[in-house]
Structure 1
Amino acid sequence: MDTTRTIDLNADLGESFGQWRLGDDAGMLALVTSANVACGFHAGDPRTLLDTCEGAVRHGVSIGAQVGYHDLAGFGRRFIDVAPDDLLADVLYQLAALDGLARTCGGRVSYLKPHGALYNTVVHHEEQADAVVQAVVRYSGDTPLPVLGLPGSVFLARAEEAGLPVVREAFADRAYTPTGTLVSRREPDAVLHDPQQIAARVVRLVTTGELVAVDGSTLAVQADSICLHGDTPGAVEMARQVRAALDDAGVAVRAFTP
């Protein structure tokens, strides 16, 4: 019996648009095990998405659909009070588009993760959480797609009730409130930047199930996957140090999907 402790590392990728370049997708794909690929609504043009899927296939990285609000100007980080039926259709559209591109290069969408404001909204917003879940159920058919989200969220609870595999996520480079939610990006120090600090934080999380919140309190956090934001300055070096620290701690980095 293999008792090796394992963790998945995911990153938000495919977020460039036309001549506007964001992040080093090629560098990140050499280090992570799951790629949350934008689907064109919050970021990503068709060429970028295809290139990202091709890179993921070359590196053996799992492809996830990172669905978001229809908000290119705001990078999907603004709440939109969209009707549930419209949100369901939006998510289906994004899933189908990315999965179609992935299949042309020998891959497929193997899970879904909401992006930005949608991710934070479905932590508590029941109607929008239900809409995203129902879109995944309808698209999945007889083979339920896993969904990636915040532990304790309404989204994961509704997904589990609907028979979808749920994957609990924690963030390497984001600050946490004492209640276990993410500090808003509008607040100072919401994003961490020190690679050594982040690497030590991830090892502590994976090996002890603990994170320190912004007020100094200790949070108990269960995570199956750790997110490293691809658009954070120095993201590749951060990912490199996280992987090295996990290796030193005897933690195997593996995708949560086959």
Structure 2
Amino acid sequence: MIPLLKVKNLSVKYGVIPALQDISIEVKTGQIVSLIGANGAGKTTTLKTIMGILKPVNGSIVYRDEDITRMPTPQRVRKEICLVPEGRGIFNRLTVRENLFLGAYHRSDEQEINSDLEKSYSLFPRLKERENQIAGTLSGGEQQMLAIGRGLMSRPKLMLLDEPSLGLAPLVVRELYELIQEILKQGVTILLVEQNATMAIRVSNYVYLIETGNVKLEGIPKEIESLEDVRKVYLGG
């Protein structure tokens, strides 16, 4: 089966400083694939490059058997890729409803947009309860739900999800990951970046460990979590 996404020998620099060095990853349809690693390892850089926000110095990004390496970001959104950024990136002064509609900014199918809005409310009932509330007044967990809901409004086939558990209480993280697995069941493939390696490994079909801009290890979750170095450094022993 052809991977939904295939990143091959991708290198990115910030000025003269290498951020990624010949990274290769694959994401198959219907899976959650995780990138784990320490801060500054290159995980977020990988997602931003796939989204077209950063430009690679070499390598290729192939999505649905089409080379999108030089494609502008808006066009990638229309190709049904979305990024839910680290830190959520919601519009604090707009309402929940207005934030959600911004996820569909490139669409003109009004009836379907309204249908997708109701689907987001069904997945995240708290957003429905707070649809007219100013987004900046939501709790951290609710803001993360809003960021994901906004991403879903673009009707993605591939969601790039960057540090969804950051700054959230453990109970909220568990609830959020249950919702992420529900999103997968609805036909959205997920490339997940997480510092919470334990949670990422638990929900993933395949895992890449990134260190200093390189893929150090890759494999199915059982293989990765069985490695002593991974347990000591990333899984708390």
Q: TM-score, normalised by structure 1?
A: 0.36
- Greater relative contact order structure (CA < 8 Å, 6+ sep): 2
Q: TM-score, normalised by structure 2?
A: 0.38
Give the structure with the larger strand fraction. 2
